[in-house]
């Protein structure tokens, strides 16, 4: 149902030719990022781009099943939106996938890429790459309990297990023992010890050709590439080899890139989003959230980079950073900050 939101119904659109439904949904996505892609962030990103698939932060099965808060909360405006799960117990993952489907998520993604110690202690994340059969069991259990797409986000290897054959065996096992059809590949391996999660996003070298080769060797699978992609020109280049592109840090730190995604990657007839309009389109949401007790700064922190490269951007950022966390801060703070970038 929500997959249709990515369709433009423009039969002349050559960019979309041959890409339908599910594949189209994965053509461009914003990566799951803990503490960053929370629901305020996703609401803002959705204003910037209607077609991109948005991922939640990783949510553990333990938090969903035993936690006190509602870890599945999101706004209906966020569609299409995918829930990323962290876990390795097939039963728990199945329970969470079912809940996600009931709550209307468009996809559930299993995290097989996070190398943090905390995640490894829970025996999930990137270390799962070492147990392809368990990943297949997890995906299968989720598929048995939910009919929405179940996808896997993974790396190209872990530790010394970094040969192309290892990667092929992993993908082969998971895709044949479960019916997983969609993989997102972060094009670098992870070191499970010795590097922090941040270093693990920077130190191991990117290997895009390896991901292209993987797609050639598994043409029946839908594959998106992730890691180090900074421009839509680069994204277009990758799309010549793969079904989808996922961008993380650049989309978050420089959300202006998202204002061009619909136009450049989906349909040239779709507009580029105006950043000032986008900020003002957040106002009803901000007001509603403030009235429920949210802090302005928790929402505006995701909007700081929207004017990158525009005169006044630094003052916008500084004004919001200094004022949005003050008690009682409201929309007047945002409107005041906006004056720094408005030129008549």
Contacting residues toward ligand FMN, per CB under 6 A? 31-36, 57-58, 84, 111, 113-114, 153, 186, 201, 226-229, 247-250
Give the integer Cα–Cα distance in Å for 36 and 79: 18
* The CA-based dihedral angle spanning residues 57, 63, 65, 66, taken in that order and rounded to the nearest 10 degrees: -170
Q: Which is nearer to ligand FMN, 34 or 134 (CB)?
A: 34
Instruction: Judge contact between 193 and 221, C-beta under 8 A.
Output: no
* The CA-based dihedral angle spanning residues 120, 249, 20, 154, taken in that order and rounded to the nearest 10 degrees: -20
The catalytic position among 41, 96, 114, 138 is: 114
The tokens for 158 are 């872990």
Of 235, 258, 248, 264, the residue nearest 308 (C-alpha): 258
DSSP reduced 3-state for 327: coil
Minimum Å gap between C-beta 54 and ligand FMN is 12
Q: Which is nearer to ligand FMN, 16 or 184 (CB)?
A: 184
Q: Which is nearer to ligand FMN, 57 or 262 (CB)?
A: 57
Minimum Å gap between C-beta 179 and ligand FMN is 21
Residue with tokens 């808060």: 69
Give the integer Cα–Cα distance in Å for 13 and 9: 9
Binding residues for FMN: 32-34, 84, 153, 186, 226-228, 248-249
Minimum Å gap between C-beta 106 and ligand FMN is 17
Residue 264, sorted as left (phi over 0), alpha (psi -120 to 50) or beta, turns out to be alpha
Q: Which is nearer to ligand FMN, 114 or 129 (CB)?
A: 114
114 tagged catalytic: yes
Furthest CA-CA distance within the chain = 61
Give the integer Cα–Cα distance in Å for 6 and 26: 9
Binding residues: 32-34, 84, 153, 186, 226-228, 248-249
Residue with tokens 């914003």: 30
Minimum Å gap between C-beta 230 and ligand FMN is 8
Q: Residue ranges of the alpha helices (H) in the chain?
A: 21-25, 39-48, 61-66, 90-102, 117-121, 132-145, 164-177, 208-217, 232-239, 249-253, 256-259, 261, 275-281, 283-291, 296-300, 313-323, 331-338
Minimum Å gap between C-beta 80 and ligand FMN is 17
Q: Which is nearer to ligand FMN, 8 or 51 (CB)?
A: 51
User: Residue number with the shortest CB distance to ligand FMN?
Assistant: 248
Minimum Å gap between C-beta 34 and ligand FMN is 4
Instruction: Judge contact between 64 and 72, C-beta under 8 A.
Output: yes
- Report the catalytic residues: 114
């Amino acid at each position: 149902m929500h997959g249709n939101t990515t369709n433009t119904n423009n039969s002349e659109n050559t960019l979309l030719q041959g890409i339908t439904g599910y594949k189209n949904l994965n053509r461009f996505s914003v990566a799951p990022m803990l503490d960053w892609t929370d629901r305020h962030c996703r609401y803002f990103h959705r204003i910037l781009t209607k077609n991109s698939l948005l991922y939640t932060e990783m949510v553990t099965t333990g938090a969903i099943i035993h936690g006190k808060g509602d870890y599945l909360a999101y706004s209906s405006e966020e569609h299409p939106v995918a829930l990323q799960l962290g876990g390795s117990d097939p039963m728990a993952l199945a329970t969470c996938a079912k809940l996600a489907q009931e709550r209307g998520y468009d996809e559930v993604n299993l995290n097989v890429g996070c190398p943090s110690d905390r995640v490894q202690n829970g025996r999930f994340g990137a270390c799962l790459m070492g147990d392809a059969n368990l990943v297949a069991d997890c995906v299968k259990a989720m598929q048995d309990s939910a009919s929405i797409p179940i996808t896997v986000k993974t790396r190209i290897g872990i530790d010394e297990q970094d040969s192309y054959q290892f990667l092929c065996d992993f993908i082969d096992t998971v895709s044949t023992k479960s019916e997983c059809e969609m993989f997102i590949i972060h094009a670098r391996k992870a070191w499970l010890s010795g590097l922090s999660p941040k270093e693990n996003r920077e130190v191991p070298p990117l290997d895009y050709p390896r991901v292209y080769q993987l797609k050639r060797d598994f043409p029946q699978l839908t594959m998106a590439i992730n890691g180090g992609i900074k421009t839509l020109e680069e994204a277009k280049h990758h799309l010549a080899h793969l079904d989808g592109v996922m961008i993380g840090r650049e989309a978050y730190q420089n959300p202006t890139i998202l204002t061009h995604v619909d136009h450049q990657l989906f349909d040239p007839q779709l507009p580029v989003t105006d950043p000032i309009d986008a900020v003002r389109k957040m106002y009803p949401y901000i007001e509603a959230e403030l009235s429920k007790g949210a802090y302005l700064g928790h929402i505006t922190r995701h909007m700081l980079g929207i004017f990158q490269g525009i005169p006044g951007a630094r003052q916008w950022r500084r004004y919001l950073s200094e004022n949005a966390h003050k008690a009682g801060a409201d929309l007047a703070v945002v409107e005041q900050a906006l004056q720094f970038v408005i030129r008549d």
